[in-house]
Chains A and B, each alone.
Chain A
Amino acid sequence: MKSVARIPNKELAIFFIVTVAIFCSLSPSFRTGENFENILVGFSHMGVLAVGQAFPILLGGIDLSVGSIVALAGMVGFDGFLIFGLPGAIVIPVMLATSVVAGIFNGVLITGARLQPFVATLATMAVYRGVTYAISGRQLFPELATRSIDDDLLLGLDNYVGHFPYAFFLLLIVAGLSQLLLAATRFGRDVYAVGGNREAARLAGIPIGRTTAICYAISGFCAGLAALILVSRMTTSQENLGIGIELSAIAAAIVGGASLQGGTGNAIGPVIGAFLLGVILIGLNLVGITTYAQPVLTGLILLGAVYYDRVLLGRRRLRLGKSQ
């Protein structure tokens, strides 16, 4: 009921719809069911990553290591399926567990060793990528590199209901649960409190260390899910999987309304943000603009989003600042 005004990311949703409409009118290929299928299948993993990234960003932190966690989880899957010949029922949980452990390690570095999130995850970004190379079955057994994974459970993920890929449903579940967690649980309220005013949260007796560790674990878990989606599509994995993907995920989360200063945002906006990036990139391709221009445009979108973020939040800070 009291509703329309309180729909989160209203402006973003409108911007998204307008963008889609523009590309639909410009390109006949864009306005096909198949194209929307392509966008859904091509960017669902990005959506999952962006939702995961929203948690550290809500805390006022950042997780630069997700791209490397994607590669690490992917390589764990590669080894499990191809070297050890294990079934998906075992390998998939191990992949996800690996990514959660990697996320928790980030959290421990930040809360335990008191490193800044940027520094901690910049370091683990290199560490996890290095571990990926070290455990790479492609290097140990080069002949496996040209074999595809044929596990039924894994490949079953790369399927469709009508135009909708399973990965998209996975994304909806992740985003839905995350939103529930953020909006309707005490943990969620704690996340906003820690990100919004750390000192106030501390004085309110909120366990800041635990909250932080859980947020980075969620980010890691989402990276594991993204790896699962990618590996099921490619039927293999690579050491350089997901290089640079963390920046797209951060961009999507920020475009989706998560403020880098922490404390503002939700889990739905990043999904729209991810698909907005997807729509723009694919749309530009179909309108005839090559991939060379895409990084430029990604950068411009990010700049626009950060500018918006600064203006919006600058105002709020100022208001509380006056009372001090």
Chain B
Amino acid sequence: MRTRTTDTYETSRREVMKNLALGALVAGSSGAALTGTLASSARAAEPAPIKMAFIQFQPHTVSSAWAKGIQDVLSIQPKFGFQLLDGQAKADIQISLMDTVINDGVNVIFVQPVDSVGIGPSIKKAARKGIPVITLNIDSTAKHAAHIEMNHYFGAMEIANAMGTMIGGKGKVAILNAPPGIIIRDQRTNGFVDGMKKYHPDVQIVADQVADWDRKKAQDVLSTILTAHPDLGGVYGVNDSMALGAMDVAKSKGIKLVIFGNDGEKDALEAIEAGDLAGTQYTDVFQQGRFAAAVATVLATGGVQASAFAEQGHLLMPYVIATKETVGTIQTYQRW
């Protein structure tokens, strides 16, 4: 998850500059942190009437794309202020940041929780203050205004279907998984396992190991799995970075593996076009950010109280299982 291409880095940097030029209250994403910082503190003098904050898991291509999507919507109207914060992949830091933005009087909080349980008390605290919280991709065990996700469960089922078909309906496959404690991990894993059972009961899932969202770690983990199961037919990386790590191993060992990722980031799509990766679940993450911003705008300006939602809003993003055949339909501007 920590691999970030220079490309996205540059994009987010340019984005920050643009937004600053436009006068939007934007603290930059990782690269432009300090520049963003100084500029935004200068901006703080003229308070934006409606403040929104996004507390990331940690800087990453996905969250940068969300932030961009959110800003696409918010920057149209100057009355919205937006602040991007870094959770440093630490639950206690995120909690502190939640407290800070709640006290700062923001109107909406976007958050991608580091820990689905750990963020819970902070979400409840925001709810008591009447501040809607919108979670992105990683849900919390505490009820909140809305959760917008990539539709992990059904997407993973379809990945299982596609992978099973490609390996001929039987054989061995492995999962490169995320560390426990995050709901999407369970959703994607369960979707994949259930999908295999449903569509290809003869395919055996022989390994399910944690590779920390990380490309490098995935290489090591898969190498170990391959020693135990040299006849492995397919690998499901619970995110694209881990799938790309699996692809590196397959390439270097010169073996044929059907590898699927999940998320649909630009690198993965290119790898699919090159034929190195079998497929991924693609979601338009910019669009996801715009959805989130749209929901936030309604909540913040429509006089709708968070408590008015009897049930938590749950938005599932449309998705495409991108394979060599379908990847062409994803337009360049949609790639992140």
Q: Which residues of B contact A146 (CB under 8 A)?
A: 116-117, 141, 180-183, 186
Q: Are A38 and B40 in contact (CB under 8 A)?
A: no
Is B171 interfacial (CB 8 A cutoff)? no
Is B88 interfacial (CB 8 A cutoff)? yes
Q: Which residues of B contact A242 (CB under 8 A)?
A: 92
Q: Are A35 and B44 in contact (CB under 8 A)?
A: no
Q: Are B186 and A35 in contact (CB under 8 A)?
A: no
Q: Which residues of A279-299 have CB atoms within 8 Å of chain B's CB atoms?
A: 282, 285-293
Q: Which residue of B lies closest to A29 (CB)?
A: B104
Q: A142-B186, A146-B186, A293-B34 are in contact. Are A236 and B118 (CB under 8 A)?
A: yes
Q: A35-B103, A146-B181, A146-B183 are in contact. Are A290 and B40 (CB under 8 A)?
A: yes
Q: Are A38 and B115 in contact (CB under 8 A)?
A: no
Q: How many chain A residues touch the partner (CB < 8 A)?
A: 38
Q: Please indicate which of the listed interface residues A41, A242, A290, A293 has the most CB atoms of chain B within 10 Å of its own CB.
A: A290
Query: Residue A290 contacts which of B36, B91, B105, B186 (CB distance < 8 angstroms)?
Result: B36
Is B86 interfacial (CB 8 A cutoff)? yes
Q: Are B103 and A235 in contact (CB under 8 A)?
A: no
Q: Are A138 and B181 in contact (CB under 8 A)?
A: yes
Query: Residue B91 contacts which of A241, A282, A289 (CB distance < 8 angstroms)?
Result: A241
Q: Which residue of B lies closest to A140 (CB)?
A: B180
Query: Residue B103 contacts which of A38, A234, A238 (CB distance < 8 angstroms)?
Result: A38
Q: Are A286 and B100 in contact (CB under 8 A)?
A: yes
Query: Residue A235 contacts which of B30, B96, B118 (CB distance < 8 angstroms)?
Result: B118
Q: Are B100 and A282 in contact (CB under 8 A)?
A: yes
Query: Residue B115 contacts which of A236, A289, A290 (CB distance < 8 angstroms)?
Result: A236
Is A151 interfacial (CB 8 A cutoff)? no
Nearest CB of chain B from residue A309's CB, rounded to whole Å: 28
Nearest CB of chain A from residue B181's CB, rounded to whole Å: 4
Q: A138-B179, A139-B210, A142-B180 are in contact. Are A147 and B40 (CB under 8 A)?
A: no
Q: Which residues of A contact B37 (CB under 8 A)?
A: 288-290, 292-293
Nearest CB of chain A from residue B49's CB, rounded to whole Å: 14
Docked Cα-Cα span, A139 to B208, in Å, equals 12
Nearest CB of chain A from residue B247's CB, rounded to whole Å: 25
Q: Which residues of A contact B116 (CB under 8 A)?
A: 145-146
Please encode chain B, from 104 to 115, with 1 for each CB lying within 8 Å of some chain A CB and 0 for all others.
110000000001
Q: Are B117 and A148 in contact (CB under 8 A)?
A: yes
Is B95 interfacial (CB 8 A cutoff)? yes
Q: A42-B99, A142-B180, A291-B88 are in contact. Are A238 and B118 (CB under 8 A)?
A: yes
Is B293 interfacial (CB 8 A cutoff)? no
Q: Are B99 and A293 in contact (CB under 8 A)?
A: no
Q: Which residues of A179-234 have CB atoms within 8 Å of chain B's CB atoms?
A: 230, 233-234
Nearest CB of chain B from residue A151's CB, rounded to whole Å: 14
Q: Which residues of A contact B182 (CB under 8 A)?
A: 145-146
Is A11 interfacial (CB 8 A cutoff)? no
Docked Cα-Cα span, A241 to B44, in Å, equals 33
Query: Residue B181 contacts which of A29, A145, A292 (CB distance < 8 angstroms)?
Result: A145
Q: A38-B100, A41-B99, A236-B117 are in contact. Are A243 and B86 (CB under 8 A)?
A: no
Q: Which residue of B lies closest to A236 (CB)?
A: B117
Query: Residue B33 contacts which of A148, A282, A292 (CB distance < 8 angstroms)?
Result: A292
Q: How many chain B residues touch the partner (CB < 8 A)?
A: 44
Q: Which residues of B contact A238 (CB under 8 A)?
A: 91, 115, 118, 181
Docked Cα-Cα span, A242 to B91, in Å, equals 10
Docked Cα-Cα span, A293 to B28, in Å, equals 12
Q: Which residue of A lies closest to B105 (CB)?
A: A29
Q: Which residues of B contact A144 (CB under 8 A)?
A: 180
Nearest CB of chain B from residue A71's CB, rounded to whole Å: 11
Q: A38-B103, A290-B27, A290-B37 are in contact. Are A234 and B97 (CB under 8 A)?
A: no
Q: A29-B104, A285-B100 are in contact. Are A148 and B30 (CB under 8 A)?
A: no
Q: Are A292 and B86 in contact (CB under 8 A)?
A: yes
Q: Which residues of A contact B181 (CB under 8 A)?
A: 138, 145-146, 236, 238
Q: Which residues of A contact B33 (CB under 8 A)?
A: 290, 292-293
Is A240 interfacial (CB 8 A cutoff)? yes
Q: Which residues of A121-178 have CB atoms within 8 Å of chain B's CB atoms?
A: 138-139, 142-148, 158
Q: Which residues of A contact B104 (CB under 8 A)?
A: 29, 285-286
Q: Which residues of B1-44 have CB atoms within 8 Å of chain A's CB atoms?
A: 27-28, 30, 33-34, 36-37, 40-41, 43-44
Q: A290-B37, A292-B86, A293-B34 are in contact. Are A234 and B95 (CB under 8 A)?
A: yes
Docked Cα-Cα span, A193 to B97, in Å, equals 42
Q: Which residue of B lies closest to A231 (CB)?
A: B118
Q: Which residue of A lies closest to B100 (CB)?
A: A285
Query: Residue B121 contacts which of A32, A235, A292 (CB distance < 8 angstroms)?
Result: A235
Q: Are B117 and A292 in contact (CB under 8 A)?
A: no
Q: Which residue of B lies closest to A285 (CB)?
A: B100
Q: Are B180 and A34 in contact (CB under 8 A)?
A: no
Q: Which residues of B contact A282 (CB under 8 A)?
A: 96, 100
Q: Which residues of A contact B34 (CB under 8 A)?
A: 292-293
Is B120 interfacial (CB 8 A cutoff)? yes
Interchain residue pairs A-B with the least CB separation, the first 4: A292-B33, A145-B181, A234-B118, A288-B41
Question: What would 17 more interface pairs be, CB under 8 Å, given A42-B95, A236-B115?
Answer: A29-B103, A38-B100, A145-B180, A147-B141, A234-B115, A235-B117, A236-B181, A239-B179, A288-B37, A288-B44, A289-B37, A289-B40, A289-B41, A290-B37, A291-B97, A292-B37, A293-B37
24 contacts across the A-B interface (CB closer than 8 A): A29-B105, A42-B96, A144-B180, A146-B117, A148-B117, A234-B95, A235-B120, A236-B181, A238-B181, A239-B179, A240-B89, A285-B97, A286-B100, A286-B103, A286-B104, A290-B27, A290-B37, A290-B83, A290-B84, A291-B85, A291-B88, A291-B97, A292-B34, A292-B86
B residues within 8 Å of A by Cβ?
27-28, 30, 33-34, 36-37, 40-41, 43-44, 83-86, 88-93, 95-97, 99-100, 103-105, 115-118, 120-121, 141, 179-183, 185-186, 210
